Structure 1
Amino acid sequence: MSTLHTVNKSPFATNSLTSCLNHCREGDAVLMIEDGVYGGLSGTAVAEQVAAKAGSVSIYVLRPDADARGLAQERMLEGIEGVDYAGFVDLAAAHDRTQAWL
């Protein structure tokens, strides 16, 4: 059973992303939304941890939220895919359950 994990808080304000990554299992997916999209940036304090998980877990950012914050795709870590709202729905439908990290 796979899980879609959603993270909506900045990794610089809470430990939600770190906790999420520590609990993810192979085959799960992480979708960073709202201020959580900052977790996808390269060159940050959490970038190494996110990149290390990207091999066994699919990691996404909600592109409209990243765009609203002026975060271009080029600033994201390699291997992080941007999705739109329809992609969010597709991810939720493709996984057995969804876990929101608040």
Structure 2
Amino acid sequence: MLYTINTSPFENSTMETALRFIQPGDPVLFLEDGVYAVQAGNRFSETILSLLDKNPVYALTPDLEARGIGSVTDGVFGVDYGGFVDLVEEHQPNSWL
């Protein structure tokens, strides 16, 4: 199952709630304001690194660029819209809004 998280972890607990349900191996895609979670060196970096131990983590590149995020936590893959479509085709999406 593909988990998509589109809200900033600085504004609400959506990411933390989603993390309780994510199973090992499930890909996680951060998009819209959710990309703030994967910015390198912020207070969520350790959480993202822990998630990366068992899950592939992606961030939508156009959303990173739109928010001026140039550096992401090591191991997070940037994907464009085509990559987003590929992930949705490969995995059943589960959106955390």
Q: Does 1:76 align with 2:72?
A: yes
Q: TM-score, normalised by structure 2?
A: 0.95
Q: How does 1:9-48 map to 2 (within 5 A)?
A: 9-48=7-46
Cα deviation code 1:31-74 (max 9, x no counterpart): 000000001012222111111010111100000010011111xx
Q: CA RMSD in A?
A: 0.8
In the alignment of these two chains, the number of paired residues is 97
Q: List structure 1 segments (4+ residues) > 2 angstroms apart after TM superposition.
A: none
CA distance in structure 2 between the partners assigned to 1:23 and 1:44 by the alignment = 23
Paired residues of 1:21 and 1:50 also in contact (CA < 8 A) = no
Percentage of matched positions with identical amino acids: 39
Unaligned segments of structure 2, at least 5 residues: none
Q: Does 1:66 align with 2:61?
A: no
Q: TM-score, normalised by structure 1?
A: 0.91
Q: Determine helix, strand or coil for the equivalent of 2:84.
A: helix
Unaligned segments of structure 1, at least 5 residues: none
What residue in structure 2 maps to residue 5 of structure 1? Answer: 3
